[in-house]
């Protein structure tokens, strides 16, 4: 029996509700496919921070390193500053384990009424650069608190960093539609974005993929006006973040969006997490949509070498949505997280 | 008779088609209101650049300074790099004349079928910071062309710069719904965006306006999922750019979006321009939607102290769209730019 060791970090808020949902589906699928999944739970969260003063122990990253994958719910709490919670857990994991690809698919499932009038199929993937770019620690303040205060922040793009994400996106596009859209803003952001464009153009030259370039402002508009035309979109850390939430919205709900933070070279564990946050506004009521987490679990199985089991999970999500009887409130239904999860498990076989 | 001197820069592509449309409407409304509008046309464009090697003459800004307002079509040409065309004309005008407010309204006009299922009214304004932030000249490359090349770019936010745009947005919101949403990304962009948030929070304290903060990723999703909830949104140069294209998309077409680049202190001329670009793909066919330009002309009259004349133009656009007979192709019709413009002129009185 193939078996995998999974580090599980439920985190905060609805993270603690959708992680058990994903585990229930994983367990059911593992039983059907004779997979061993050994979970070790790490109770690292903002609640823990408020008790102990740290998001994770000093050797937290060392504890995670031996695992085959990391499964995260969500971190964030209104009482804890984001730079503490996110930069104390999520961002260090992405960076320490060189998870430079953030893969974020979005699909309009039959049976889901998205916000757009069009019923044209939507099935796209945002390939987000995940470790450099606009999310940088470089910067600071001049004259803090004084009238002439200013703040600066440096975006950093490296040739190896842009090359590897573009190559990943090109390979993915070659296996899908053969088309790739690159998000840029080189008409306004005149140093880093022209550099991004140059690397994209160079890599595109040696590829069969047809690459087009869109400025992020116009691209966001097109994702709303004609989402069906997009297949694979590659973007920087910030642009990929924006585009993936937007893509999730046009397919119905942020609650459905999954993500894989991948270290494609497999030097380190990759991390899987729903795109949504801890959602303090609905936490504790058992109504969170677990699709983002369950679909992320499918992406994890795929990464671990079990594409059949992964496809079975996505198929069960699709079947449950198509059937339409059981849905969480964000999709217009009345089901709880648990009821929806049970329906997905029932749809597996 | 009150009269105003307007510098007109048709620019490139469809800029040269929508500017005459806007002028036709302006002339008609000026006649009805006994306004004198003296236009001086400046043929500055990428075509000019290709002939003469500059987007404008060395004393271009001095030539514009004495005018009461500037009306711009669009600049941009596939043969000319954006950093030449835009940073040689558009951006210097915004900065030289301290047009630090970029006002971008979006409205779902009755009779227009937007891309969203919902028929809830959409009537919002994006207040975009227009002279600092992410659009900065500071940055460059290390090891250009070599394997370890990197590019850096600095975003710069100043306390006076953020304060004035936030105060403008607060005053606008106080005159409208009393609600303001501030676009941020302080969970990922950890120096400049927390600074933005701090200034917003400080200014909000002395205001009757109810201010909420949204991260740009989630905000873009909400603009698609529930646009009716938004009234005034304030954002940085980049975030305001993205949000205004997105808002234009959810109300039907980028071709309808107007903008005012305002110097609220009136030390210098303000500039009015449609949000769309030169659109080389449809240029020369006479099918561009002139609404963005015509509505921008209305914003110009408003700024020049003629709110009644401005409202008449917006009313004529609304009436023409509600009547529904005459529309350009981007809105599903078959009318030319000229036919639509004639219909707006006819609807004026
Ligand atoms: C052309 C570009 C530099 C410009 C901007 O981003 O400011 C445009 O998109 C706009 O919105 O006016
Ligand atoms: C919480 C935040 C730092 C994070 C990001 O922007 O990376 C989140 O929005 C995401 O998309 O994973």
Please report the residues numbered 275 through 294 in chain B whose beta carbons come closer than 8 angstroms to any beta carbon of chain A.
none
pLDDT higher than threshold 90 for residue A67: yes
How many angstroms away from the CA of B243 is the closest CA of chain A? 7
* Beta-bridge mates of residue A210: A179
Active site residues of B: 135, 185, 217, 241, 245
Pair of tokens at residue A165: 């994400």
Task: Spell out the domains of chain B, with CATH numbers in brackets.
Answer: 1-100+258-349 (3.40.718.10), 115-250 (3.40.718.10)
What's the Rg (C-alpha) of chain A? Answer: 20
Close Cβ partners of B287 (under 8 Å, ≥ 6 residues apart): B328, B329, B336, B337
What is the sign of the dihedral through the CA atoms of B66, B69, B73 and B76? positive
pLDDT at A82: 84
Alpha carbons B307 and B292: distance in angstroms, whole number: 18
Q: What is the pLDDT of residues B321-334, one digit of tens each?
A: 999 999 999 999 99
Cβ atoms B155, B136 nearer than 8 A: yes
Reply yes or no on whether A222 is catalytic.
Answer: no
B52: Cα separation from own chain's centroid: 28
Reply yes or no on whether A185 is catalytic.
Answer: yes
∠ CA(A66), CA(A71), CA(A77), 5° rounding? 120
State the average pLDDT over residues A15-22.
Answer: 98
**C-alpha pair distances (Å), A337 with each of A252, A288, A341, B196:** 17, 6, 6, 37
pLDDT tens track, chain B, 349 positions:
789 999 999 999 999 999 999 999 999 999 999 999 999 999 999 999 999 999 999 999 999 999 999 999 999 999 998 888 999 999 999 999 999 999 999 999 999 999 999 988 999 999 999 999 999 999 999 999 899 999 999 999 999 999 999 999 999 999 999 999 999 999 999 999 999 999 999 999 999 999 999 999 999 999 999 999 999 999 999 999 999 999 999 999 899 999 999 999 999 999 999 999 999 999 999 999 999 999 999 999 999 999 999 999 999 999 999 999 999 999 999 999 999 999 999 999 7
Alpha carbons A115 and A171: distance in angstroms, whole number: 31
Residue A83 pLDDT class (50, 70, 90 cuts)? confident
Which residue in A144, A136, A125, A306 sits closest to A227, CA to CA?
A125
Alpha carbons A108 and A252: distance in angstroms, whole number: 7
Please report the residues numbered 83 through 112 in chain B whose beta carbons come closer than 8 angstroms to any beta carbon of chain A.
83, 86-87
pLDDT at A103: 98
Cβ atoms A23, A56 nearer than 8 A: no
**C-alpha pair distances (Å), A341 with each of A25, A45, A271, B272, B346:** 7, 24, 22, 53, 60
Task: Quote the ligand 1 centre to B241 CA distance (angstroms).
Answer: 7
With an 8 Å Cβ cutoff, are A157 and B150 in contact?
A: yes
pLDDT at B1: 78
Exposed e or buried b per residue across A224-253, where buried means at least 16 C-beta atoms within 10 angstroms of its C-beta: bbebeebbbbbbbbbbbbbbbbbbbbbbbb
Q: What are phi and psi of B280, to 5 degrees?
A: -55, -25
Using most ligand atoms within 8 A of CB, pick from B91, B277, B280 the residue to mutate for ligand 1. Answer: B277
**C-alpha pair distances (Å), B256 with each of A175, B86, B126, B128:** 38, 21, 14, 18
DSSP type of residue B127: E
Q: Is the minimum CB–CB distance between B155 and chain A shorter than 8 Å? A: yes
Which residue in B31, B83, B28 sits closest to B55, CA to CA?
B83
A86, A194, A249: residue with CB nearest B225:
A249
pLDDT at B349: 78
pLDDT at A198: 97
List, as one string, the DSSP characters of A224-248. HH-GGG-SEEEE-HHHHHHHHHHHH
Quick check: CB of B187 below 6 Å from ligand 2? Answer: yes
Pair of tokens at residue A191: 């140093």
Alpha carbons B224 and B246: distance in angstroms, whole number: 8
With an 8 Å Cβ cutoff, are A150 and B137 in contact?
A: no
CB-defined site of ligand 1, < 6 Å: A 187-188, 217; B 86, 241, 275
Q: H-type helices in chain A, by residue range?
A: 15-33, 46-52, 60-64, 82-85, 91-96, 159-175, 192-205, 216-225, 237-250, 291-303, 307-323, 337-347
DSSP type of residue B88: I
Q: What are phi and psi of B126, to 5 degrees?
A: -95, 125
With an 8 Å Cβ cutoff, are B249 and A220 in contact?
A: yes
Quick check: CB of B190 below 6 Å from ligand 2? Answer: no
Q: What is the pLDDT of residues B65-84, one digit of tens each?
A: 999 999 999 999 999 988 88
Cβ atoms B125, B175 nearer than 8 A: no
Cβ atoms B124, B249 nearer than 8 A: no
pLDDT at B277: 94
Please report the residues numbered 64 through 83 in chain B whose beta carbons come closer than 8 angstroms to any beta carbon of chain A.
76, 82-83
Ligand nearest to the CA of A258: 2
Alpha carbons A170 and A232: distance in angstroms, whole number: 9
Most confident of A74-83, A127-136, B74-83: A127-136
Cβ atoms B263, B269 nearer than 8 A: yes
Pair of tokens at residue B156: 């710069």
Pair of tokens at residue A334: 């009345």
Ligand nearest to the CA of B237: 1
Number of helical H runs and strand E runs in chain A: 12, 12
> How many residue pairs bridge chain A and chain B with CB atoms within 8 Å of each other?
200
pLDDT higher than threshold 90 for residue A349: no
């Amino acid at each position: 029996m193939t078996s995998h060791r999974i580090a599980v970090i439920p985190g905060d808020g609805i993270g603690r509700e959708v992680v058990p949902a994903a585990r229930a589906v994983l367990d059911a699928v593992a039983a059907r496919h004779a997979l061993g999944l050994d979970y070790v739970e790490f109770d690292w969260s903002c609640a823990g921070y408020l008790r102990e003063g740290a998001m994770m122990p000093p050797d937290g990253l060392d504890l995670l390193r031996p695992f085959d994958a990391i499964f995260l719910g969500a971190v964030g709490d209104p009482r804890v500053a984001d730079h503490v919670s996110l930069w104390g857990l999520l961002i260090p994991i992405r960076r320490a384990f060189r998870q430079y690809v953030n893969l974020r698919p979005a699909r309009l499932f039959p049976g889901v009424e998205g916000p757009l009038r069009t019923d044209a199929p939507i099935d796209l993937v945002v390939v987000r650069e995940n470790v450099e770019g606009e999310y940088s620690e470089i910067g600071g303040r001049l004259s803090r608190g004084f009238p002439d205060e200013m703040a600066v922040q440096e975006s950093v793009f490296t040739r190896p960093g842009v090359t590897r994400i573009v190559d990943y996106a090109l390979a993915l596009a070659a296996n899908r539609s053969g088309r790739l859209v690159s998000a840029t803003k080189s008409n306004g952001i005149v140093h880093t974005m022209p550099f991004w464009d140059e690397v994209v153009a160079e890599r595109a030259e040696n590829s069969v993929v047809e690459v087009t370039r869109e400025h992020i402002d116009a691209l966001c508009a097109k994702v709303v006006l004609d989402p069906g035309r997009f297949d694979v979109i590659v973007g920087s850390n910030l642009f990929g973040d924006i585009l993936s939430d937007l893509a999730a919205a046009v397919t119905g709900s942020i609650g459905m969006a999954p993500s894989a933070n991948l270290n494609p070279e497999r030097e380190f564990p990759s991390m899987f997490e729903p795109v949504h946050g801890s959602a303090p506004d609905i936490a504790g009521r058992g109504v969170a949509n677990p699709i983002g987490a369950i679909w992320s679990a499918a992406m994890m199985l795929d990464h671990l070498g079990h594409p059949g089991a992964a496809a079975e999970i996505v198929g069960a999500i699709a079947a449950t949505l198509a059937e339409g009887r059981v849905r969480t409130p964000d999709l217009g239904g009345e089901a709880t997280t648990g009821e929806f999860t049970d329906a997905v498990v029932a749809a597996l076989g």
